[in-house]
Amino acid sequence: MTQLTPPRTGTDADIETLSTVADSLEASTRYDVLPERGAAEATVGAALDAEWEEEPGLWGFITTVNHKRIGRRYLVTAGFFFMLAGINALVMRTQLAGPNNSIISPEIYDQLFTMHGTMMIFFFATPFNSGFGNFFLPLMIGTRDMAFPRLNALSYWIFLFSGIFMFTGEAMRVAPDAGWFAYVPLSNEYSPQLNLDFYSLGLLFLAVSSTVGAMNLVITFLKMRAPGMSLNRVPPFVWGIVTQSFMLVFALPPLDLANLMLFLDRRLGMRFFDTAKGGDAVLWQHLFWLFGHPDVYIIVLPAMGIVSSIIPTFSRRSILAYPYVVLATVATGIISFGVWVHHMFAVGLSDVSLTFFSAATLTISVPAGIQMFAWLGTMWRGRVVLSPAMLYAMSFIITFVIGGVTGVMFAVVPFDQQVTDSYFVVAHFHYVLFGGAVMPMLGGLFYWWPKLTGRMTSHKGGVISAVLIFVGFQVTFFPMHIQGLLGMPRRIYTYPAGYGWGTYNLIETIGAYVLAFGFLWTLFVFAQSLLSGPVAPDDPWGGNTLEWATGSPPKAYNFPVIPTVHSLNPLWDGRTLQSMVDHRHDDQRTMTEVHRTLRTSELDGRIERVMSMPGETVQPLLVAAFLTMTVCFLLADIMLAAAVAVGLMGLVIAWWMWNRPEIDEPAP
Amino acid sequence: MTDVNAALRRTRIGDRETAQGETERAVRRGAWPVAETPAGRTTGWWGMLLFICTEAAMFACFIASYYYLRFSTDGSWPPVSDKLPHRIVPGIGTGVLVLSCLPMFAAVRTSRKSRAVTFPLLVLVTLAGTTFVVLQAVDYMQEYPSSTPSKDAYGSLLFTLTGLHAFHVGIGVLMMLLVLGGQLARGFKKPQAGATRVMAMYWYFLAVLAVAIYITVYLTPYIM
């Protein structure tokens, strides 16, 4: 039957103790198509192809609800925003290369660092994770689409339009300029222009997308897992995405509320943050950081999930201490809601709250440490294959540990008060966010590129990319620690000579250009792969999770036969793939009529019923378009037009709710 | 091998109960060690639950902000320039909304059997929701001269917190109209049990929220 590993009849625990399956790496590359998938496709592929075929051309492009196309769009769009926000940073680094530079004006500099932070956090990091989640979560849990495919399309369109909205502000030179956390009263009474309206409206706009996207991922995880995938067989990456999505559901509301209050204060003269009229400026900080700290983990947890996918595959063994990795992920998500005040140690709050939040902040390093040891242990007990993805995962471990250590330093209140608002902070959060998110994401791109595009990337090109990015990053950001301890404040547009900061700044600027070259090189490697890369087989790396049981790139219906999952490493246990052959004549597993997939139970993944999925529709794009109009009219202060746009949006939503597939199933 | 359409027919009506029953039968047969309960939650049910979670988080933050600003204000609350809020009219509105949970509950119970009874019950709930929104507007006219949204933080909190909630009740009324329209258009034949059940979850949430907001905005100024 399978050539990958001998068929095993053991339990999860037996699979866990398997030493290595390195030999399967060579064996698997012999197949372009996995024999089990080939057999299943031969039986039902033609019928499914006819049913799931998508409309070609522009109409197909705007009406698609296919999670793989939407996931790829997320990645491309967020990648583009990353590039723009990165260019902002490069301009800032150029300005800071030497003392007393005046390449750009201070006003523009303010807008650049605000946009850099805001766009990187909100419009790159979170949606890039959503891109991976959208594409790979349904594949990894063995289903055919997201729980709400149309909502998924809506979530993408809103993300795209809100990103364009934000960059329109920058193009008009009225981008937000009060820092990415936009403290009042600077963002309120001292900012009469449109700048901060772009901020509050843009983030409220985006929050719609993030919220519905997060709910969709959670419900897909709960109700759509392949039969047999009980909670203890869910891949760590899926756990990362699900924890992140749960966190978004609870963390976005305070940010939305803060932005709503800011908008009402600015536009309708309300007094939430007006200290002279009974308001309170610190309220903004509490609401913002009640979102802001969980957001760090919203960005980092899925990226850690990517690392937990790469490391087992390229260590050729199951992940070490799987239950602890999952529990640590979930624990991080929960504890992260109780540490927000460590961003406010210098505000002047009471000693009691400083002590509590200092202790809570120290606590959160424990689950991160557990995961770190699990990855190291997996590599130690396995046989490491140094692919580009693995190099990125290792860069992540080194960089994130450094960022974590400086993070623990910040939990110590006196130290925090000493270095707050200095370049030490800048160094810390770039180690955490670049090391913790960007490096795993790049690793994820190299790892999953064959699945995303159907092409292989150049091994040598990938290795050079990993080295360039690692070196460029360290040269750019390591000196910032020293420079911060020397007292250079963040967010200054230039600095006088003679403080001993000039050399460090020059080194950092050189590092930034190396980093930029590294990204250009990476882009080149991917472009070269798209144009002339070898065609990818189904399972090029001998991976352990279900996405490798689909085609490269997967067919519109993902799985011709929904498999029965027998272990945490379904592609290594033999029986899971075999179930695709065994069930290929079972209507309940092939579901060749209409768009259908299986609905299973939340805990044990037992079959509940076959459910119908909606097909292509233009409704999501219409809703997003009317929402965009609403936001633009609110910005321009044309309230009547905004109300009309909201009404039209309501009509489309009513039309949408009218046609629910579960109602339109054939009558009994 | 299972006949898909037969399975669909079996699970169409009373989806949840059927799945529950199947689970129990499987346990009795000895096929599964223990039953996973509750079984048969739909994706729509989970969608509404998560939606309520995110909304509840936002209102919790809003109510927390109310108390935060109230306790960081020295002196009287509301400030001396404002009068105490009117308790009667919003109290009636809140009572109507809470009582409307009864016909809502009855509608859910009847929606799988007698859909001709469900319809008038849902109409009653819709009217109650509309009454709440109207009474909220009446209250604004009472409060307006002495408190305004832009006079001080007290006024901003009063109008925005209750306004946001009334807006949600308004959305609930529109959703209810959609459910009613669906029943009319489908001639009471196609089941609407799922939609009614999901709608009811949202309605109960709005009622609980109304009580929390009533206590916060209209009662606590009298006792603190």
Asked if the C-beta of A663 comes within 8 angstroms of chain B's C-beta atoms, the answer is yes
Are B43 and A599 inside 8 Å of each other by CB?
Answer: yes
Percentage of chain B beyond pLDDT 90 is: 58
Cα separation, A178 vs A158, whole angstroms: 24
Query: What is the pLDDT at residue A27?
Result: 45
More confident residue, B213 or B80: B213
pLDDT tens profile B73-129:
888 889 988 899 999 999 999 999 999 999 999 998 888 776 678 889 999 999 999
pLDDT-flagged residues of chain A (< 50): 1-29, 663-668
Whether residues B155 and B170 share a domain: the answer is: yes
DSSP assignments along B69-89, one per residue: HHHTS-S-SS-TTSPPPP-HH
Query: Do B64 and B19 have their domain in common?
Result: no
Q: Is A658 on the interface with B (CB under 8 A)?
A: yes
Per-residue DSSP letter, B140:
H
B35-to-A232, A604, B19 alpha-carbon distances in Å: 17, 10, 11
Whether residues B94 and B72 share a domain: the answer is yes
B31 and B57 together in one domain: no
Which chain B residues contact residue A599 at CB under 8 A?
Answer: 42-43
Token digits for B189?
């034949």
Helix, strand or coil for residue A480? helix
- For A474, the token pair is 């360290």
B interface test, pick of A257, A349, A587 with most B CB neighbours within 10 Å: A257
Least confident range of A54-68, A225-239, B18-32, B175-189: B18-32
pLDDT attached to residue A664 = 39
Q: Find out whether the peptide bond into B38 is cis, omega within 30 degrees of 0.
A: yes
Please name the residues between 406 and 425 in chain A that touch chain B, using a CB distance below 8 Å: none
- Evaluate whether A205 touches A161 at the Cβ level (below 8 Å): yes
Q: Tell if the CB–CB gap between B72 and A280 is shorter than 8 Å.
A: yes
Tokens of A2: 């399978």
- Does B124 lie in the same domain as B139? yes
Please tell me the predicted confidence (pLDDT) of residue B23: 62
| Nearest Cα residue in chain B from A597 | B4
pLDDT above 50 (res B11): no
- pLDDT band for position B65 (50/70/90)? very high
Q: Which pLDDT belongs to residue A56?
A: 86
Calpha distance A549→A543 (Å, rounded): 9
Q: Which residues of chain B are within 8 Å of residue A264 when distances are taken between CB atoms?
A: 149, 156, 160
Number of C-beta neighbours around residue B44 at 10 A: 18
| A610 vs B7, B152, B157: nearest CB | B7
B3 plus B68 within the same structural domain: no
For residues B18 and B116, membership in a common domain is answered with no
Domains observed in chain A: 12-55+541-600 (no CATH), 57-532 (1.20.210.10)
Same domain, B87 and B147: yes
Max Cα-Cα span within chain B: 76
- Domain extent, residue B76, equals 43-223
Min distance B135 CA to chain A CA atoms (Å): 23
Residue B62 has pLDDT above 90, yes or no: yes
At residue A7, the pLDDT reads 36
What is the pLDDT, as a whole number, of residue A8? 39
Residues B107 and B35 in one domain: no
Contact B151 A277 (CB under 8 A): yes
pLDDT band at B24 (very low <50, low <70, confident <90, very high): low
Can you give the pLDDT at residue B193?
75
Q: What pLDDT score does A574 carry? A: 85
**pLDDT for res B187:** 66
**B119 and B145 in a common domain:** yes
The domain that holds B175 is classified in CATH as: 1.20.120.80
Task: Report the Cα A565 to chain-centroid distance in Å.
Answer: 26
Residues of chain B in contact with residue A254, where contact means CB-CB under 8 angstroms, are 57-58, 61
Mark whether B123 and B147 lie in a shared domain.
Answer: yes
- On chain A, the residues whose CB falls within 8 A of the CB of B151 are 271, 277
Find the radius of gyration of the CA atoms of chain B: 22
* Together in a domain, B106 and B34: no
Q: Look at residue A25 in the predicted model and tell me its pLDDT.
A: 45
Per DSSP, the residues of A82-145 read HHHHHHHHHHHHHHTSSTT--SS-HHHHHHHHHHHHHIIIIIIIHHHHHHHHHHHHHHHTT-SS
* Chain B interface, best mutation among A44, A250, A264, A291, by max B CB count within 10 A: A250
Which pLDDT score, from 0 to 100, does residue B171 have? 95
Chain A partners within 8 Å of B58 (Cβ):
253-254, 256-257
Number of folded domains that form chain B = 2
Tell me if A654 and B3 make a contact (CB, 8 A cut-off). no
Collapsing DSSP states into helix, strand and coil, what is residue A607? strand
pLDDT tens for A394-448 read: 999 999 999 999 999 999 999 999 999 999 999 999 999 999 999 999 999 999 9
Can you give the pLDDT at residue A567? 93
Contact B178 A586 (CB under 8 A): no
